[in-house]
Structure 1
Amino acid sequence: MPLKLLDLVSQIDSFPYASDTEQITRIRECLYTLVLDGRGGAQVPLGFLPLKVLDMLTKAPASIRGETRVDPVERTVSVFKGSDPETRSALAARLAHYWRSQNAFPILRGWRDELWPVYGTEGELLFNIERSATGLFGVVRYGVHLNGFVRCAESSHGIKLWVARRSSTKSTFPGMLDNVAAGGLMSGERPFECIVREADEEADLPGDFTRERIKAVGGLTYMYITQEQAGESGLIYPEVQWVYDLELPEHVVPKPKDGEVGDFTLCTIEEVQTQLSQRQFKPNCALVVIDFFIRHGILTKQNEPGFDEIIRRIHRKLPFPGPHNDESFFRAPTPEWLEMTL
């Protein structure tokens, strides 16, 4: 039986809500909250650690993990103590390298040598952490996604959508469908510059061409509990995606360039709807397509019973700080606001 769109949303926004008291109680019993001391001694929540990660943390030599405080009553853990981002980042790197050397977590086998940011309550950088280690601490992960589409009067809704198929050699979700370009946001990189780079690397769309035509259309937020396909099950991924649309002329065809994509196909809306219902898209990429459908009037209250719930679930209020908490996040961002993401 084909999946409903709300089922697809629930698949990726899978962390229970506070209103589901039974599920939230059960999962919180398996988690500790990563906290950092803020101004005035207040503790700032930054992420969720599964018990298996907490166990490995406490077993690591103190000379590796640094000063660590575990509060079993409040179920919090404080680590990476330091007075500046550089000190905290060095502690995070030392621990991640140690775990990697010990083969402590399968997810670290996908080491990327990319630093991802962890932000504080005022949008300030608290520390950087290796990309593959972010899920171990459940900190917010930031990324960018690009929809590529073509105007076509003969097609329904006057649109066709370019769909990428992930390379069969990808370590995660090989062979599944994807957006035209996407990627993680490295520390110090602006979302706009990131998506321009990814469009060039993955779809062979020149930077100057993309800069002139791309449109920032807002963002998506959700909280995912990983399955085995993501490299390791039971990790918490609060994720933020900046989303962009790019209208392509008929003669401009995205092409695989760096090996991340196997092929691109120009699809009708009906074909994409079938692909969604058959769960062919990488889960978070399905959310980006659903958001595209909403913004372009393809998915409406009139034809989708779960419309309001879908809107709420793909714009989830995350329990951790960062630039996504700015009110402008769900609108096309302004240059002033984008400065916060550095």
Structure 2
Amino acid sequence: MSRSNLDLVNECDGFPYHQVDAIAYAQHVATYYHFQVEGFECTIGYLLPSVAEVLRGLPNWELDDDERTITLIGCNNAPERTVAMTATAMAMKATGHFKVLEKWRNEQYGVYGPRQQLLFDLERSATPLFGLVTYGVHMNAYVKSKAGELKIWIPRRAKTKQTYGGMLDNAVAGGISSGEKPYECLVRESSEEASLQEDIVRKNVKAAGTVTYFYIRDERAGGETNLLQPECQYVYDLELPEDVIPKPNDDEVEQFYLWTVGEVRKALARGEFKPNCAMVMLDFFIRHGIITPENEDDYIEIVSRLHRRLEFPTL
């Protein structure tokens, strides 16, 4: 079945909106445990009951079934919380109960409080279990011919990848490690994933805002389904000379295609793109005047949904 642009947005930004359907939103929120940190008056993520139950009775954790909260306690600062969260994640991994932890990355993601302060670091693969906001960079690389035709570099993910194997991606994409700046992450990922020289990226890349959404993970993400994944992607554009050709530089990318806008749109409609990469591509099309109010009936809805205000603290 052919997907509309709004279908692609709905697939990635799947968590209900209170403003649209207050009942559905309330039902969803009531299902989860609200993750809180002792000393901070805010919720930083949502946990499925099956995850919260595993933490019951463990050191540093306090469950309140009446209030539906689960609180990290007994830690006075970010390093202490990081130790507690790491011990918890490693214990959960050791049980073999959660498949999502089988793809342990040894990458630390930062989790932030209401004033952008670092609360703790956590292993990347564990963040969906706690419903925490994570951050990444996505870049679309493109070429403009002398005649003005725009073509876009599209990589296909390796079929062996544990997540979204064989699907289409943006030219460069990767998660931001704790303490890493988005721009430096982008430069690093450009070399690792697309063999793009640092000087070319630094000279030509342009920051283009963010794309935010609240994803409910499905089987393609690997591991348990229905885990919650609110994300913020820093978006970049890179116009490349015609003689600069991205090439795979690791085992994550199978090959790159140089496609016309029409070819990309057909692949989007076929559902070939990784869900959040489809969102970033739609954002690119809007910014470059390819999707307009004249050719897209759901223009306002799509534009607003690409920039969701997340309900947890962010950077």
**What TM bracket, shorter-length normalisation?**
over 0.9
SS of the residue aligned with 1:55?
A: helix
Partner of 1:253: 245
Q: How does 1:80-159 map to 2 (within 5 A)?
A: 81-154=74-147, 158-159=149-150
TM-score of the aligned structures, taking structure 2 as reference length: 0.97
Q: CA deviation at 1:124?
A: 1.1
Q: Distance in 2 between matches of 1:287 and 1:81?
A: 40
Paired position in structure 2 for 1:302: 294
Q: Does the residue aligned with 2:237 lie in a helix, a strand or coil? A: strand
- What is residue 280 of structure 2 aligned with on the other side? 288
Q: Find the aligned partners of 1:147 and 1:228 in 2 and give their Cα distance.
A: 26
Do the aligned partners of 2:133 and 2:231 also contact (CA within 8 Å) in 1?
yes
What letter is aligned with 1:215? Answer: K
| Residue range with higher mean Cα deviation, 199-208 or 50-59 | 50-59
Name 2:153's counterpart in structure 1: 162
Q: CA deviation at 1:86?
A: 0.3
Distance 1:271 1:250 in 2: 18
CA distance in 2, matches of 1:178, 1:80: 39
Is 1:190 aligned to 2:171, yes or no? Answer: no
Question: What is the Cα deviation at residue 206 of structure 1?
Answer: 1.1
1:204 corresponding residue in structure 2: 195
| TM-score using structure 1 length | 0.89
Separation of aligned partners in 1, 2:286 and 2:64: 44
Q: Is the 8 A contact 1:85 1:127 kept in 2?
A: yes
1:56, 1:229 → 2: CA distance? 24
Percent identity between matched residues is 45
Q: For 2:33 and 2:133, how far apart are their aligned partners in 1?
A: 15
Aligned to 1:47: 45
The answer to whether the 8 A contact 1:37-1:44 is kept is no
User: Any idea what SS the aligned residue of 1:315 has?
Assistant: coil
> Which whole-Å CA distance do the structure 2 matches of 1:30 and 1:105 have between them?
19
Equivalent pairs counted in the alignment come to 313
Which moves more between the two structures, 95-104 or 17-26? 17-26
Task: Report SS of the residue matched to 2:42.
Answer: strand
SS of residue matched to 1:275 = helix
**SS of 2:36's equivalent?**
strand
Matched residue of 1:178: which SS? coil
* CA drift at 1:153: 4.7
RMSD between superposed Cα atoms in Å: 1.2
Preserved CA contact (<8 Å) 1:80 1:91: no
Report deviation, 1:312. 1.2
Shift of 1:85: 0.5
Where structure 1 has 5 or more consecutive residues not aligned to the other structure, the ranges are 324-342
Does the 8 Å CA contact 2:36/2:70 hold for their aligned counterparts? yes
What letter matches 1:274 in structure 2?
Answer: K
Deviation of the 1:2 alpha carbon: 1.1
Mean alpha-carbon deviation: is it higher for 204-213 or for 89-98?
A: 204-213
Residue 81 of structure 1: how far off its partner (Å): 3.8
Divergent runs of 4+, >4 A: none
Larger mean Cα displacement after TM superposition, 133-142 or 72-81: 72-81
Structure-1 separation of matches of 2:145 and 2:53: 56
State how far apart, in whole Å, the 2-side matches of 1:257 and 1:265 are.
15
Partner of 1:71: 64
Secondary structure, in 3 states, of the residue corresponding to 1:177?
coil
Aligned position for 1:2: 2
Give me the whole-angstrom Cα distance separating, in 2, the residues matched to 1:291 and 1:234.
Answer: 25
Q: How far off its partner does 1:70 sit?
A: 1.9
Deviation at 1:154, TM superposition (A): 4.3
**Distance in 2 of aligned mates of 1:96 and 1:182:** 25
**C-alpha distance in 1 between matches for 2:309 and 2:73:** 26
Task: Check whether the contact 1:213–1:247 (CA below 8 A) recurs between aligned residues.
Answer: yes
The answer to whether the aligner puts 1:223 opposite 2:229 as a matched pair is no
